[in-house]
Structure 1
Amino acid sequence: MPVCQRFSRAGLGGRWKCQFANDFDPLKVQVYAENWGKKEILEDDIHNVDAENLGRRVDLAWASFPCQDLSTAGNGLGLGQATGGDRTRSGTFWAFIDLMKELKASNRLPRIVVLENVVGLLSINGGEEFKAVIASLDRLGMRAGAVVVDARHFLPQSRQRVFIVGVSKTAKIAESLVREQPHPTWHPDPLVKAVGKLSGQCREHWMWLNLGAPPELKKTLNKIVKSRPVGVEWHTPAETKRLVGMMSEAHKQKLAEAKKSGKRMVGTLSLRMRPSSGKTLQRTEICFRGLAGCLRTPKGGGSRPRIIVVKGGSVRTRLLAPAEAAALMGLKARYQLPEIYEYAFRVIGDGVAVPVVSFLRGKLLTPLLRSIKKPRAGDVSKKHKRAARASVERSRRDQLELRV
């Protein structure tokens, strides 16, 4: 099972065996090797990966390609061109598709292909990038479906991602795994609109994948944030006072209400540039909804995740600790991360939430694979005939041996 994402392996669990993994970032390769071993991980640009590196045919290929050019906060460059040198960072998608083409040519195309990225993929450039992705799967002979899953159903972190699933157009899929109509949770309006813009052929083969009812979140940010964090220090009273002083009146009112509750209130604290009286000022904004914002790879001091803890008249602030960020991704405490703060968040920031992958595995991927591999009636009959012939042959060999 080729896997191009470190955390997806954790979510798939031990019953799925990884055959090949790839990343060009030395830090992320090192983290992968420390947690899973270095046997199957290849540190190289995916454009340099050859189909021969991938070994025998596998059940699942998972690709989490860079999101910078697809995010609404990015530059809008998209996937770039499928051919030639005009490819963006997110355009590593095309290198993955090239590998799938090579595998198909040698009759080794994986039974299931999963593509993961930010929800901006659905709408950026008028939906053209999403159309290109689905059309690429169509040219591989695959029908596609997609779901949008927010980690907030499993963890106290708001983290939406789109998961595109491709299977052979000739594969038999259990009726329980598809729906007649989109589900409001798993198929929100941006996805429905994006599907509506697909070509007629791609719409004809489209699957509304069935994940059932969404689970209820049982853990809040209050349980994740520790009083005695490891790897970070609480801000000094002077620094906390400075941050509070940068709040607008609306956010100061939120703080006052949190104090009045008398409970331990844990919230997020963000630094934002906001217009004010004809100027642009840096403001402190807080939120006590029990969820962390989407963890990202930090690009500067202002982008690092911060928290605020209020209990009665006490107000404390600090950076989010790496162990807390790991918990917000669903990683187990034993998962090895870099000790340097920035490095740890560089690994965490572009990962996929582990419980989301586990949910997809249980609700979709494993049942889908069983459905695809389930022999048809004619195949069962042939299998029984082969088994009967093999039994007769064994009996003959046994008789000959007894005669000797």
Structure 2
Amino acid sequence: MNTFYEFFAGGGMAHAGLGEEWKCLFANDFCEKKAASYRKNWGDDHLVVGDIAKVKANQVEGQADLAWASFPCQDLSLAGNGVGLDGDRSGTFWAFHKLMKQLDKDGRKPHMIALENVYGAVTSHGGKDFEAIIKSLVSVGYRAGGMIIDAVHFVPQSRPRLFIVAVDAKLTVPSELCAETATPAWQPAAIVKAYNRLPKKLKDQWIWWAPPAPDTTPGTLDQLIEHEPQGVTWHTPEETAKLLEMMSEVNAQKVELAKQAGRLKVGTIYRRTREGRQRAEVRFDGISGCLRTPSGGSSRQTIIVVEGEKVRSRLLSPREAARLMGLSDNYVLPERYNDAYHLAGDGVAVPVVAHLARHIFEPLIESYRRLQLVKVA
């Protein structure tokens, strides 16, 4: 069975994406609320709750095929404070790196590492943070490459994220897993620019990962909404009318067109400040905006349902948020709305993890094991 560590585990969405053919040897998260959800869904025999900086190598079992780390994004986000890897939150990456060095010293570093973060991690501090991440991986004996993968190719949510996949430099990477140059679908201009800024010794350890395109259709927002939502209530007609009044002429026209569609239309609304005035912006393209953690009311998405002249609105439900992340309805969510929404908005899209597992991680493991059998023979 394939094995993995799950750092910054949250509710275990990487666990969900890797699936039943993978066994978690160790998981860690700082947040007790998220850990409670992790326990309900995955058990706690391998879970350590607490600061990653205090985790010791002897607490981490065995040698895993993969270490997954969706480290905090707040300091790297384009909407964040801009301190990057020097920040208290995103800077926890260095504690993870230190632990990987300790495992390397013990002769049991993971065969692969996968890092996930926001798009802004590519350009943070003029690309210096990205370079620092690649340099840190190379220093522990890995080759690495980055991809931008948008969850919209798998679920109806616009969620572009940076994924860096690193593999032990001693292992052979099958040629079908990579390309000689950038693949625009996975390495857009920002990644290419970041690569071009790297010093030659890091470029020499770069891999242009080239997984196949997704072979599934993401569906649309109206296919996953709850018609009898749990955990939220519909707005009053007055509250809905207020939202409509906050729309610009362009956005109000979108609602009018939805009324004329002749069928039920589901959209999402974000409240934003434009030129000093709060506005409600709507989209009816069947795609949700990127889920965010609910630090404030404006970060929560509002659902708008239009059926002829009937217009209703409400907050996105916890289960809908989970579905937008690719979690199954069997996944046990926190009871409190904010906790459930935070868990979803702070996670990694499950089907993206599954795609990487199927087309990069598992082929690498299979290649490695075949080589081991040849050596034994």
TM-score (normalised: structure 2): 0.96
> Would you say the 8 A contact 1:270–1:305 is kept in 2?
yes
- In structure 1, how many angstroms separate the alpha carbons of the residues matched to 2:231 and 2:95? 38
Aligned to 1:93: 93
- In structure 2, how many angstroms separate the alpha carbons of the residues matched to 1:61 and 1:67? 18
1:288 aligns with 2:280: no
1:88, CA displacement in angstroms? 2.3
3-state SS of 1:286 partner:
strand
Aligned residue runs from structure 1 range 2-81, under 5 A: 2-4=5-7, 5=9, 6-80=12-86
- In structure 2, how many angstroms separate the alpha carbons of the residues matched to 1:215 and 1:15? 20
1:102 aligns with 2:102: yes
Which of 361, 368, 393 is matched with 2:364 structurally?
368
1:34, CA displacement in angstroms? 0.7
Q: Deviations over 1:135-167 (max 9, x none)?
A: 001111111012111110010001111111111
Tell me the amino acid that sits aligned with residue 306 of structure 2. V
Q: Deviations over 1:13-37 (max 9, x none)?
A: 1111000000010001111011111
- In structure 1, how many angstroms separate the alpha carbons of the residues matched to 2:261 and 2:41? 43
- In structure 2, how many angstroms separate the alpha carbons of the residues matched to 1:323 and 1:38? 23
3-state SS of 1:148 partner:
strand
- In structure 1, how many angstroms separate the alpha carbons of the residues matched to 2:26 and 2:280? 44
Q: Deviations over 1:12-61 (max 9, x none)?
A: 01111000000010001111011111111111100000000002111111
Tell me the amino acid that sits aligned with residue 203 of structure 1. K
1:218, CA displacement in angstroms? 4.0
Find runs of 4+ consecutive structure 1 residues off by over 6 angstroms. Answer: none
1:64, CA displacement in angstroms? 0.9
3-state SS of 1:231 partner:
coil
Aligned to 1:323: 319
Aligned to 1:139: 139
Aligned residue runs from structure 1 range 306-385, under 5 A: 306-375=302-371, 380=374, 383-384=376-377
1:217, CA displacement in angstroms? 2.7
Q: Deviations over 1:226-248 (max 9, x none)?
A: 22211111111111111111111
> Would you say the 8 A contact 2:152–2:218 is kept in 1?
no
TM-score (normalised: structure 1): 0.90
3-state SS of 2:254 partner:
helix
3-state SS of 1:247 partner:
coil
Aligned to 1:156: 156
Q: Deviations over 1:357-394 (max 9, x none)?
A: 11111011100111233227xx73x633xxxxxxxxxx
Q: Number of aligned residue pairs: give it.
A: 371
> Would you say the 8 A contact 1:153–1:215 is kept in 2?
no
Aligned to 2:229: 229
Aligned to 2:169: 169
The percentage of aligned residue pairs carrying the same residue is 47
Q: Which has the larger radius of gyration?
A: 1
Q: Gapped runs of 5+ residues in structure 2?
A: none
What is the aligned-residue RMSD (CA, Å)?
1.2
> Would you say the 8 A contact 2:151–2:158 is kept in 1?
yes
> Would you say the 8 A contact 1:264–1:311 is kept in 2?
yes
- In structure 1, how many angstroms separate the alpha carbons of the residues matched to 2:225 and 2:108? 46
- In structure 1, how many angstroms separate the alpha carbons of the residues matched to 2:152 and 2:304? 20
Q: Deviations over 1:279-329 (max 9, x none)?
A: x11111111111001111101222211111111111111000111111111
3-state SS of 2:23 partner:
coil
